[in-house]
Amino acid sequence: MSEPTSHVLPLHRIIMLGGEGVGKSALTLQFMYNEYNDEYEPTKADIYRKTLQLDGEQVQIDILDTAGQKVNVVIRDSYYRRADGFLCVFSIADEGSFQAIQAARDLVLQLRKDESVPFLLVGNKSDLQEERQVPLGECQARARKWGVSYVETSAKLHQNVHLVFYDLMRQISSRKASESMATNGGRKCKKKGCHACAIL
């Protein structure tokens, strides 16, 4: 059953990407319910949806919290195709998780064939600076290389949690706006325009 308003309101689908144990669910729960739990429980596939204000406009956000572990490829692909934006999360205290995000980025590009799809690189667990394994410079370099923004967060301390979600939603909504304009204008030129917007 779906609410009548949900048809009217713009719906932004976000997928959480990243290796296992980097804090995707923690970020999600912190964003949704201001809830934090130190206990680790592997996620299968969780779904969250709520209505919120974005720059004076009511929007719905739909977060698909995927599993960090290996999952069925077909399902994953179908998800990726339908998503509006991606939050790509790694742990700054885990070199392995930083390496793994390259594969995720590659997969997104392979499926969407669009480098300007709304995408945010998130270095989580910024509270663990003393255990840091990935230098900040390296992270920023990677973001630059991909042409995306990089934000460091701490789900535990609730740092930058809302920022990343709202950033991504803004990217999504502006891209949707330009897309609808492009539909009105011409289908071919939409991707490039959008890319420009995203960078802006």
Binding site for another protein (CB under 8 A): 1, 3, 6, 25, 29, 32-33, 35, 43-51, 60, 65, 72, 74-75, 78
**Alpha carbon distance 95, 3 (integer Å):** 43
24/125 with CB nearer another protein: 24
29/164 with CB nearer another protein: 29
**Alpha carbon distance 13, 45 (integer Å):** 14
Listed in sequence order, the DSSP H helices in the chain are 4-8, 24-33, 73-82, 95-112, 136-146, 161-184, 190-199
Nearest approach, Cβ of 4 to another protein (angstroms)?
11
**Alpha carbon distance 88, 104 (integer Å):** 8
- Nearest CA to 11 out of 176, 187, 199 is that of 176
134/172 with CB nearer another protein: 172
Nearest approach, Cβ of 31 to another protein (angstroms)?
11
35/57 with CB nearer another protein: 35
3/131 with CB nearer another protein: 3
Nearest approach, Cβ of 59 to another protein (angstroms)?
13
- Nearest CA to 178 out of 159, 200, 163 is that of 200
Nearest approach, Cβ of 112 to another protein (angstroms)?
17
**Alpha carbon distance 59, 27 (integer Å):** 20
Nearest approach, Cβ of 33 to another protein (angstroms)?
5
**Alpha carbon distance 119, 11 (integer Å):** 17
